[in-house]
């Protein structure tokens, strides 16, 4: 025990809060300054939802709290619960997520850096709404990046990476069979990220991540129609086969076709809907 500061380093018996080293006189005037000691493992961000976030925050330190909030908001944006153009009401989100405004605003800044949220003076934060031109141009870039990732992955993927991709694809196929779009999309994102990682090109990965973040909601919505979802699932099975055969040309063709279909599905939302004729 520290003889000069007998409470320094001690832990609260109930909450694992730690008293910091201050003199008794200072503590008498100002009270104890408490620092949280994380006593449980940090939950996986992929498993955190808006409903479960308040419980998860009990194990999150101040440093990771904004990142956890940002991940939850990112999922709500991707799945369309926070639609493009939606104003992010701080009071409502603080109440819903059971957090204060300071970490929430830091999460907004993280999402702004990702290109998912825009912040305007005196107007607060809102979800980015891409124009039709933005969508078309972004998907054209992603088409090239995905095709290059697939081609390089066929040449450079390791046996361990290939085995992991096969396992993820089979899990995703099971989600497709039981109509679990949310679970399917989480696995889908991991698969595309791992194909990119298997290319073993850091510059390509950086470009891929920067562009892909803006398109997550559109890529998710492209599977809302079952026929398009069925085609996408078959294309993913073809990707695994091409990687297994080290067929770089075939993989590049599949990846381009995959992204072209995603782009066309995303652009449908900008076209006027006409009533079906009998």
Note whether 172 and 184 are within 8 A (CB).
yes
Q: Are 216 and 266 in the same domain?
A: yes
Q: Name the DSSP class of 154.
A: H
Tell me whether residue 83 is exposed, middle or buried, using C-beta atoms within 10 angstroms of its C-beta: 0 to 12, 13 to 18, 19 or more. exposed
Q: Which domain holds residue 18?
A: 1-37
Q: Are 93 and 185 in the same domain?
A: no
Domain-embedded: residue 243: yes
Whole-Å CA distances, 77 to 53, 208, 265? 16, 19, 18
Alpha helices (runs of H) in 199-245, residue ranges in sequence order: 202-221, 226-245
Q: What is the pLDDT along the chain (278 residues), one digit of tens a residue?
A: 445 444 444 433 333 333 344 444 444 444 433 333 333 333 434 444 555 554 544 444 445 899 999 989 988 888 888 888 899 999 999 999 999 999 999 999 999 988 889 998 888 899 988 889 999 999 999 999 999 999 999 999 999 999 999 999 999 999 999 999 989 999 999 999 999 999 999 999 999 998 998 888 888 888 888 899 999 999 999 999 999 999 999 999 999 999 999 999 888 877 765 444 32
* Boundary (domain end) residue, out of 127, 153, 180: 127
Token digits of residue 46 = 């992929």
């Amino acid at each position: 025990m520290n003889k000069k500061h007998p409470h320094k380093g001690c832990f609260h018996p109930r909450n694992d809060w730690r008293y910091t080293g201050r003199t008794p006189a200072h503590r008498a005037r100002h009270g104890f300054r408490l620092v949280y000691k994380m006593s449980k493992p940090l939950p996986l961000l992929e498993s955190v939802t808006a409903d479960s976030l308040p419980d998860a925050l009990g194990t999150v330190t101040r440093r990771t709290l904004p990142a956890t909030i940002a991940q939850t908001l990112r999922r709500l944006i991707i799945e369309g619960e926070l639609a493009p153009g939606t104003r992010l009401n701080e009071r409502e989100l603080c109440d819903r997520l059971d957090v204060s405004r300071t970490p929430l605003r830091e999460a907004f800044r993280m999402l702004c850096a990702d290109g998912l949220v825009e912040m305007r003076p005196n107007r607060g934060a809102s979800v980015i709404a891409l124009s039709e031109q933005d969508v078309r141009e972004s998907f054209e870039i992603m088409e090239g990046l995905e095709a290059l990732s697939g081609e390089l992955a066929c040449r450079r993927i390791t046996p361990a990476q290939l085995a992991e991709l096969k396992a993820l694809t089979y899990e995703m196929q099971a989600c497709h069979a039981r109509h679990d779009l949310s679970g399917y999309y989480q696995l889908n994102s991991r698969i595309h990220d791992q194909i990119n990682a298997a290319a073993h090109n850091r510059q390509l990965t950086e470009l891929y991540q920067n562009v892909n973040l803006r398109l997550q909601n559109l890529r998710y919505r492209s599977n809302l129609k079952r026929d398009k979802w069925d085609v996408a699932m078959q294309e993913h099975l073809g990707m695994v086969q091409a990687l297994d055969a080290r067929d770089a040309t075939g993989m590049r063709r599949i990846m381009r076709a995959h992204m072209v279909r995603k782009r066309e599905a995303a652009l449908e939302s900008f076209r006027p809907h006409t009533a079906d004729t009998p």
